[in-house]
Amino acid sequence: MTATDTHCPYCALQCGMTLTPERKLEPRDFPVNKGGLCAKGFTAAELLDHPDRLLTPLVRTEPGDRTSPFREATWDETFDLIVEQIEKAQRTYGRDSAGAFGGGGLTNEKAYALGKFVRVSLKSASIDYNGRFCMSSAATAANRTLGIDRGLPFPLEDVARARTVLLAGANPADAMPPSMQYLDAGREDGARHIVVDPRRTATAAGAHLHLQPLPGTDLALANGLLHIAIREGYVDEDYVRDRTTGFDAVRSACNSYWPDRVERMTGVPENRLRETVRLIATQGPAMILTARGAEQHSNGTDTAQAYLNLALALGLVGRPFSGYGTITGQGNGQGGREHGQKADQLPGYRKLDDPAARAHVASVWGVDPDELPGPGKSAYEMLTDDALRVLIVLASNIAVSAPHSNHIRRKLRALDFLVVSDIFLSETAELADVVLPTAQWAEEEGTMTNLEGRVIRRRRALPPPPGVRTDLEMLAELSRRLGREESSDPRTVFEELRRASAGGIADYAGITYERIEKEDGVFWPCPTEDHPGTPRLFEHSFPTKDGRAAMRAVVHRDPAEMPDQAFPYVLTTGRNMQQYQSGNQTRRVRTLTAALPEARAEIHPDLARRHGIADGDLVELRSRRGTAVLRARLTDGIRPDTVFAPFHWPGANALTDPALDPHSRMPAFKACAVAITRHERGAET
């Protein structure tokens, strides 16, 4: 191999890096990371020749018995077996009995191909992906309000120019360390930052203000901030009149969120609420950025809407170095939700129930629009539906990452047939009938779309190990055996994606591999090859029917599960710096596991004292759904009524509440009721 410029395989920053012939990673001066990398990025090459790497297909020695061990198999044998099980299930139970679950780490080409495979080759409605557990609430709010869902509607570098930044439920210092250079640059230039988080994270520790609400009360907090802005005359009345609709209803809905009531609801002092509004409204360009802490709730869409309402009322959206954005987490979380993995979606961010959208995509695919299935069920609903009998999982470890994970494991075991494609034997793959070894980031071509909407190219640096295929090759072969010819060449697939997305919300028609290379990525929408791309949205209007942003009145409601005598505390989940997502990759990297070898539950010393817990003790967390044993980390940086647990290991999601947001179908990862006790093994390792 030769030195290859490519991008990090982890988060949605998609930092530029170079893989050297010695399989070392060096940061590049790419516009996003500007020469920086985090510990995960620096160590990503360790995955390429890891001893745990899957190198051959695996099937059970006793077909149908998942307690039997795996044995190595040929690709022909595994393809025959998969097709046989798909056809058997669909003959018996109908088309929708076979489906697929994708991931936010798939390239745009693979996400597109997976959506097409399910709807054309399987003729099934059963598809969704793990982005439903990540960005769906923010995406729903943005689409219905702004007419478009692009996480950041401006380049990341604009953050450094904002004078005030409100970060709600975001901890980029741990989740996306290279992005902190923009926040740091802003602070050095006098900017004030406000962090909303029940924990004093590394991001919160560097902020001018830290608001520490009870998990599940962000909507009340946002409405309370808008109440103050209205009462104290900070609303930009001209902007609201000229560029929005619906403000009268929003104003009325916020009337009851007076500051002392919001303080009682959230625990955030009234003086801090007022100072927050003053800073956002008066200290130059301002941004409001939300992330999973505010959005992964049973009212997450309305919470994102409330922060959007605040940004619009203050006239921030579309103005230089101002605005509202949501921070995408997964590597291709943005592109992954644009091209057909979602249950209700077609490529280009088109709606599956829109006749015009169906007609356009069907013409590209060479099928009759009536042959396309309708919208399917969302991720958790699909996974727990008894009608699903055969499931193919790509790039997702749902046995760890899904809410109420013990129940999900039971449902996976109950399937007639489970296929998992992965680079390692994940906790989900351990439950499968067939495991397919797949190529990883440096071994395949493709495009990704980062948190800014910048489409970048991931270049192949070396071939996959002998016997390993790419997911595109696997999908093409399955399609062929099901009677449909498809390409496995990434560039060919991307060219088709361009045509399928043309004219859609996420229009990639003008983006080519060559433009991406030449221009350090291209921002969508980009409808033609002579279009410059769109780094900044909303400067003049919104892509809605009337060109205005549609504000919506929202009201706070309690989390689906409240603390009580049996479960008196609130559990919230989140990330650690050294790990990523379900940990299937990072828990195998020696440098990262040495720094953080196990999950640690963060507990306030007052709460620990009440239960006889010392720092380093093992503690048992119990919810109505399960138990988890974690090492205690005592810190006064968390609320005394709240416990934090990272989700990178099995355990935390055994506790979480699968109550779904009615709009986005997002589960309530960030707030459930738990009890805590010192584990009987105490401080043993």
Domains and CATH numbers, the chain: 4-47 (2.20.25.90), 58-129+334-523 (3.40.50.740), 136-326 (3.40.228.10), 569-678 (2.40.40.20)
Residue 683 pLDDT: 52
Instruction: Mention every residue, 6+ apart, whose C-beta is less than 8 A from residue 231.
Output: none
**Local structure of 456: helix, strand or coil:** strand
**Local structure of 469: helix, strand or coil:** strand
Residue 329 pLDDT: 87
The amino acid at 602: E
Mean pLDDT by 10 residues, the chain (685 residues): 93 97 94 96 95 97 94 98 98 98 97 98 97 94 97 97 98 96 97 97 97 97 98 98 98 98 98 98 96 95 98 98 95 93 96 97 98 97 98 97 97 98 98 98 97 97 96 98 97 98 98 96 98 97 97 96 97 95 95 94 98 97 97 97 96 97 97 95 53
**Local structure of 675: helix, strand or coil:** strand
Q: How far is CA 590 from CA 254, 440, 602, in A?
A: 51, 19, 24
Count other C-beta atoms under 10 Å from residue 514's C-beta. Answer: 10
Task: Measure the CA–CA gap between 277 and 396, rounded to whole angstroms.
Answer: 40
Task: Measure the CA–CA gap between 283 and 187, rounded to whole angstroms.
Answer: 13
Reported pTM:
0.96
Q: What is the DSSP string of 120-189?
A: IIS----EEEGGGGTTHHHHHHHHHHHS---S-SS-GGGGGG-SEEEEES--HHHH-GGGHHHHHHHHHT
Task: Measure the CA–CA gap between 135 and 326, rounded to whole angstroms.
Answer: 8
Residue 682 pLDDT: 58
Contact 601, 652 (CB under 8 A): no
Task: Measure the CA–CA gap between 370 and 330, rounded to whole angstroms.
Answer: 34
Residue 680 pLDDT: 79
- CA neighbor of 605 nearest in space, from 597, 596, 595, 615: 615
Residue 685 pLDDT: 37
Burial degree of 207 (CB within 10 A; 0-12, 13-18, 19+): buried
> How does 521-533 read in b/e, with b if 16+ C-beta sit within 10 Å?
bbbbbbbeeeeeb
Task: Measure the CA–CA gap between 104 and 425, rounded to whole angstroms.
Answer: 19
Contact 498, 511 (CB under 8 A): yes
Tell me the Ramachandran region of residue 71: left when phi exceeds 0, alpha when psi lies from -120 to 50, beta otherwise: beta
The model's pLDDT over 38-65, given as tens digits with 9 standing for 90+, comes to: 999 999 999 999 999 999 999 999 998 9
Task: Measure the CA–CA gap between 69 and 62, rounded to whole angstroms.
Answer: 8
Count CA atoms closer than 13 A to 668's CA, side-chain side: 22
Token pair, residue 365, equals 């695919």
